[in-house]
Amino acid sequence: MQFNFLPIDMVSVGEKSIEEISALIGKDDLKDSAIVTSRSVAGNDFFRRAVEMLGDPRVFSGISQHSPIEEIDSIAGEIKGKNVKYLISIGGGSVIDSTKVIRSKTDTEIKQIAVPTTLSASEFSHIAGYTENGEKKGIRGKELTPRYIFLDPNATLETPTTLWRSSGIRAIDHAIEGTLGEGMVDLRVAFSRLSVEKMMANLEGNWTDRRLECQVASWYSYMDVYDSPMGYSHRIGKIIGARWNIPHGMTSCMTLPEILRYYSASPPPGMAKLASSITGEGDGSKAIESLAARLDSFIQELGLKKRFSDYGMKEEDLKYIEDKLGSADDLLIDHLRNML
């Protein structure tokens, strides 16, 4: 049994992220820094203040949803060989993942600083996803992990409510499916329970204290990401997200409750233990079913209840998902059909 630590040097939790980043980099190295963000985030007030306080560094604001490889290659081409020492990612999972891929194509010694604006938890991961030719692809390596992470609720206040809440469901998805791995099951279950309960208690609130609690819950959801392979909810989400351009958070809103029902037929030990600790139900199968029902209701209360058909998917598209999964039993196909 082993536990793999990721090379994160610091996680800062609080409302003074930009001042702390400026002090961390230092006046002399600010000129060798650049910011990576999305077009939407580049237009908000927090971002404008950040650029001003960081001495007006070079900004790359061309990243869009699902991290298209063409956008990544364009930025990588512009910074390669330019002595960039720090890349500051201000944005959601697509921005943070894109910055990891940019570093992989230029120099992984470039230090990445992440200021997340959603709850995707990409900043705590050694994995980077991107889209190429309509399909989700990815790379992984400990050296890709951002070195410095700043959880600042002020960075999230202009994030659209639907995006914020759906990315919170994505974090819950991480926490639950993160219990599927072997090894340090007690650690996974403990942090996953903290994550799920903290997220469900605070996700509806829009005040900075509630948002900060959600950010911490997002961190806890990925505490053991290196050793925790994700399950069918994530695998299906990546397939449909890239193909039908569905945000990752919304894919989790559709897949997570139904995939939990699939797992309840043959309960994985870690997932059963987590579900029992949250619901109080001693039987693992019933506990997972109860957790699925609770999350289904929570997603509906948040106004995030969607089906595959809402994004134009049809019965015949299930074959595409099945083929991309590589293998799928009849029970899983039945649950996929329930998502239509």
Predicted confidence at residue 244, as pLDDT, reads 95
Full set of structural domains in the chain with CATH: 10-156 (3.40.50.1970), 161-339 (1.20.1090.10)
Closest CA to 16 of 55, 42, 60, 46: 46
Question: 27 pLDDT exceeds 90?
Answer: no
Q: pLDDT tens-digit profile of 206-220?
A: 899 999 999 999 999
Predicted confidence at residue 134, as pLDDT, reads 84
Q: Please say whether the beta carbons of 24 and 113 come within 8 A.
A: yes
Confidence of residue 128 (pLDDT cuts 50, 70, 90): very high
Predicted confidence at residue 324, as pLDDT, reads 94
Section 324-335 average pLDDT: 92
Q: pTM for the complete prediction?
A: 0.95
| Beta-ladder partners of 128 | 139
Confidence of residue 285 (pLDDT cuts 50, 70, 90): very high
Section 12-34 average pLDDT: 95
Section 212-236 average pLDDT: 95
Which are the contacts of 141, defined by CB distance < 8 A and separation ≥ 6? 104, 108, 126
Confidence of residue 96 (pLDDT cuts 50, 70, 90): very high
Q: Please say whether the beta carbons of 290 and 279 come within 8 A.
A: yes
Separation between Cα atoms, residue 206 and residue 62, nearest integer Å = 28
Section 228-256 average pLDDT: 95
269 DSSP assignment: H
Chain-centroid distance of CA 332 in Å reads 24
Q: pLDDT tens-digit profile of 184-207?
A: 899 999 999 999 999 999 999 989
Predicted confidence at residue 105, as pLDDT, reads 97
* Sign of the dihedral through C-alpha 227, 231, 235, 237: negative
| H or E element at residue 290 | helix 284-301
The angle at the Cα of 318, spanning 328 to 139, to the nearest 5 degrees, equals 65
Predicted confidence at residue 41, as pLDDT, reads 97
Predicted confidence at residue 256, as pLDDT, reads 98
Task: Give the rounded percent of residues in the chain with a pLDDT score beyond 90.
Answer: 91
Chain-centroid distance of CA 60 in Å reads 21
Confidence of residue 236 (pLDDT cuts 50, 70, 90): very high
Write down the mean pLDDT value for the chain.
96
Residue in this structure with the two tokens 């599927």, named with its chain if needed: 180
Section 233-253 average pLDDT: 95
Section 232-247 average pLDDT: 95
Helical segments of 43-149, H only:
45-53, 69-79, 93-105
Residue ranges of E strands in 272-315: none
Confidence of residue 135 (pLDDT cuts 50, 70, 90): confident
